[in-house]
């Protein structure tokens, strides 16, 4: 059996370098995973029991009908026109009226453009749920 003889200047100890390396790797892992867990879209949903009518419209209304067509200010627009329409008033809040039977593909197309042009800030209008 071999014994270890330490000199007067040497004390037995534990090397903490691997432990510190592991802690830093875990810290980096948790920081990176929390940045990726944010929601992709920041959607502003209205929550008001009383609405006030405004004489001046500060929002852009886009409707998606059940057949997937887009409508803006009472006229039908093509999906290619949506980029130009949203660029007309960049300060206005986008309000989406989507028919419950509208194809999801049409909704996603509008949301993709809105994320770029409006910075992800838009409202999706809904009807109040019926009391059951």
Indicate whether this model's pTM tops 0.75.
no
Query: Tell me: the pLDDT tens digits for 67-107?
Result: 888 988 878 998 888 888 888 887 888 888 888 888 889 88
State both tokens at 61: 């209304």
What domains are there in the chain, each with its CATH number? Answer: 59-125 (3.30.420)
Q: Which residue has the higher pLDDT, 36 or 66?
A: 66
pLDDT the model gives residue 26 = 95
Residues 33-44, mean pLDDT to the nearest whole number: 56
Residue 129 CA to residue 117 CA, distance in Å, equals: 31
pLDDT the model gives residue 13 = 78
Residues 24-52, mean pLDDT to the nearest whole number: 66
Q: Is the pLDDT of residue 47 over 80?
A: no
At 77, which helix (H) or strand (E)?
Answer: strand 75-77
Q: Which residue has the higher pLDDT, 2 or 110?
A: 110
Residue 120 CA to residue 92 CA, distance in Å, equals: 13
Q: Is the pLDDT of residue 43 over 80?
A: no
Whether 71 and 102 have beta carbons less than 8 Å apart is answered as no
């Amino acid at each position: 059996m071999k014994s270890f003889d330490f000199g007067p200047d040497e004390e037995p100890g534990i090397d903490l370098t691997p432990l510190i390396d592991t802690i830093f790797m875990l810290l980096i892992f948790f920081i990176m995973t929390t940045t990726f867990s944010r929601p992709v879209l920041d959607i502003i949903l209205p929550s008001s029991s009383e609405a006030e009518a405004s004489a001046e419209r500060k929002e852009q209304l886009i409707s998606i009908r059940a057949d997937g067509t887009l409508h803006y200010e009472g006229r039908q627009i093509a999906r290619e026109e949506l980029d130009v329409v949203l660029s007309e008033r960049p300060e206005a809040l986008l309000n989406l009226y989507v028919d419950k039977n509208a194809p999801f593909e049409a909704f996603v197309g509008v949301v993709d453009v809105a994320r770029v042009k409006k910075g992800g800030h838009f409202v999706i209008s809904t009807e109040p749920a019926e009391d059951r």
